Amino acid sequence: MRWSKTHIPTLKEDPQEAEIPSHRLMLRAGLIRRLGGGLYTFLPLGLKALRNVERIVREEMDRAGAIEVLMPALQPREIWEQSGRYELLSNVMFRIRDRQDRDLVLGPTHEEIITDLVAREINSYRQLPKTFYQIQTKFRDEIRPRFGLMRAKEFSMKDAYSFNTSPEDLETSYQAMYQAYVRIFERCGLRTKAVEADSGAMGGSSSHEFMVLADAGEDGIVECDACAYAANLERAERRAVAPADETPDRQPEPIATPGHKTIEDVARFLKAKPTDLIKTLIYTANGQPIAVLVPGDRDLNEHKLARLLPGQTLAMADDAQIEKATGAPVGFAGPVGLSLPIYADVSLQGRRRVITGANRADTHLQGVDLTRDVTFTAFADLAICREGDGCPRCAGTLHEKRGIEVGHVFKLGTKYSECFKATYLDPNGKEQVMIMGCYGIGVTRTLQAVIEQSHDAQGIIWPASIAPYQIAILPLNVSHAESLKTAESLMTTLEAQGFSVILDDRDERPGFKFKDADLLGFPLRVVVSERSLAAGQVEIKRRGVDEKVMVSCAEAAQKIVELLK
């Protein structure tokens, strides 16, 4: 392809709208353009790279035995009402109405659609297991679309759904997808880390997210420095530690703390450490107030609380509910004398000298012995993990990292198959409910994550597998007939062997062409100059590597093929 025959609008300046390197580079290299918040046009080279990611995803899905389908993005409201997600997902769902006043949804995901389909199409154990997938546009009304393709309102996802006959059968499908994901990200040149993810009420480690470690990542994760344990912060557990030996006071002592409500405030006022204090949070579970206690220097992990109380609707209590439940204004809640179910983080078990709210305005209690003064409903790991916590699996230490979630594999169970009556007849002619898994890859997010992980000050460094063009040929002087002829013949030879080649035929200064080639990150650059041709040679350089090699024109194609392997 000749440069002049396509459209590569590179930018010299960093665009204002971009906050992270990959977003900046996608705009500067002329891969995408913004239409509106979270909405992007793919320009020719961006689209070529995207198609390459899709091709890898498709090949690996097919290899893993998944079957490609394509479902509509536009979906009737009723199917979403059947699963209850018309309400549940109302904050991310784009809703529209047709001319006959029928409500429709722009699909944010496809569990409902595929399960309804399978319920109609499959009815015997002989047709199972099956995994269906599609590569399709999803729509989500994200509160904060940002970072370009990373969090968009319209984006491409590969979503797959497996239909299985037993937990073991599901495990097999799950592992097949997991392994396919490992291969997909490897082939895209991405280093990813599979972390245990929150799987809601399902429990266990039946969900993994594939994370690209990057400062720009929106997800917090922890990683053990001694074993393979890694988890999303939403999910991450920590090793319990025995409480320090504390000498109890004879009884809790009320102490005036006028206007001091936050942990930091109270700690400063009482000259105590935040760890000496207890945070008492009031929630409602199915509308009834409960108290949840965590150490003063820690935050509650709501996902853990949700797992402790499966099936219950949890919400933070509002001011009125807190006052009613504790008899005190907000900021002075404490567990002593509180007649509510009380749940506490496991690290509080055995603490014998702590400071809590007194359930009285402007008052705290000192010298509270949790083993003596409070009756707990249950202790559990409820706090959010952080840097330095002990690994729950070994004696190692957890370290905090940021990650970009590019993929997610998830054991769904029977939630949707029950709802859509996706059943089959087993060998005994008995009706059984299918067990499901779902597996997503953010295709457009993956593309950008590659750039986030692989770039330098000059621009993108594409892996050859997804580069829009694998080879850039730069005739430095396009009015020199022999240069152009050599460049063209090399391009023809390489294209005939299946390589993608761009020939920079612009009448521009060499420095300008070099800059653009670096910015665009083509894996191999071939320079054809009058000087090199005088010696019958061209110069080959790999992107991201300083070394240049001179080869004879006759051997150039062969050398390039070697280098690309």
Residues that bind ligand ATP (CB under 6 A): 109, 140, 142, 151-152, 155, 157, 405-408, 440, 442, 444-445
| Alpha helices, DSSP H, located in 197-295 | 263-270
Q: Which helix (H) or strand (E) holds 160?
A: strand 154-164
Q: Are 10 and 516 in contact (CB under 8 A)?
A: yes
Residue 91, exposed/middle/buried by CB under 10 A (0-12, 13-18, 19+)? exposed
For 420, list phi and psi in degrees, rounded to 5.
Answer: -100, 10
CB of 151 to ligand ATP, least distance (A): 4
Cβ 22 to ligand ATP shortest distance, Å: 13
Closest CA relative to residue 264, chosen from 327, 329, 319, 331: 331
How far from 427 is each of 127, 424, 431, CA to CA, in Å? 12, 10, 10
Nearer to ligand ATP, 190 or 524 (CB): 190
Least distance between ligand ATP and beta carbon 546 (Å): 34
**443 or 524: CB nearest ligand ATP:** 443
- Please say which residue, 216 or 374, places its beta carbon nearer to ligand ATP: 216
**Residue 70 or 534 with smaller CB distance to ligand ATP:** 70
Smallest separation, CB 119 to ligand ATP (Å):
22
CB of 437 to ligand ATP, least distance (A): 13
- Which residue's CB atom is positioned nearest to ligand ATP? 442
Q: Are 156 and 136 in contact (CB under 8 A)?
A: yes
Q: Measured from the CB atom, is 55 or 408 closer to ligand ATP?
A: 408
Question: At closest approach, how far in Å is the CB of 233 from ligand ATP?
Answer: 12
CB of 181 to ligand ATP, least distance (A): 10
Nearest distance from residue 277's CB to ligand ATP, in Å? 32
Bridging pattern class, strands 67-68 and 130-139: parallel
Give SS3 for 39. Answer: strand
Separation CA 364–CA 362 (nearest Å): 7
H or E segment at 360? Answer: none
Minimum CB–partner distance for residue 315 and ligand ATP (Å): 21
**CB 441 within 8 Å of CB 181:** yes
State which residue, 321 or 448, has the beta carbon closest to ligand ATP.
Answer: 448
Helix ranges, 188-286 (H):
263-270
- Identity of the residue, 26 or 406, whose beta carbon is nearer to ligand ATP in the bound complex: 406
Quick one: which of 514, 441, 347, 497 has its CA closest to 57?
A: 441
Sign of CA dihedral 287, 289, 295, 297: positive
- Strands across the sheet with 354-357, in order? 253-256, 363-368, 354-357
Smallest gap from Cβ 150 to ligand ATP, in A, equals: 6
Looking at the chain, how many residues does it have?
Answer: 565
Distance of closest approach, residue 142 Cβ to ligand ATP, in angstroms: 5
- Give the ranges where 249-360 is alpha helix by DSSP (H): 263-270, 302-308, 319-326
At 151, give phi and psi (nearest 5°). Answer: -135, 90
- Which one, 137 or 262, has the nearer CB to ligand ATP? 137
Q: Which is nearer to ligand ATP, 156 or 356 (CB)?
A: 156
What angle is formed at CA 184 by the lines to CA 178 and CA 185, rounded to 5 degrees? 95
Locate 421 and state its tokens: 């009556």
Q: Which is nearer to ligand ATP, 386 or 408 (CB)?
A: 408
Angle at the Cα of 219 (from 217 to 223), degrees rounded to 5?
100
User: Can you tell me the distance from the alpha carbon of 248 to that of 244, in angstroms, rounded to the nearest whole number?
Assistant: 12
Q: Whose Cβ is closer to ligand ATP: residue 220's or residue 337's?
A: 220
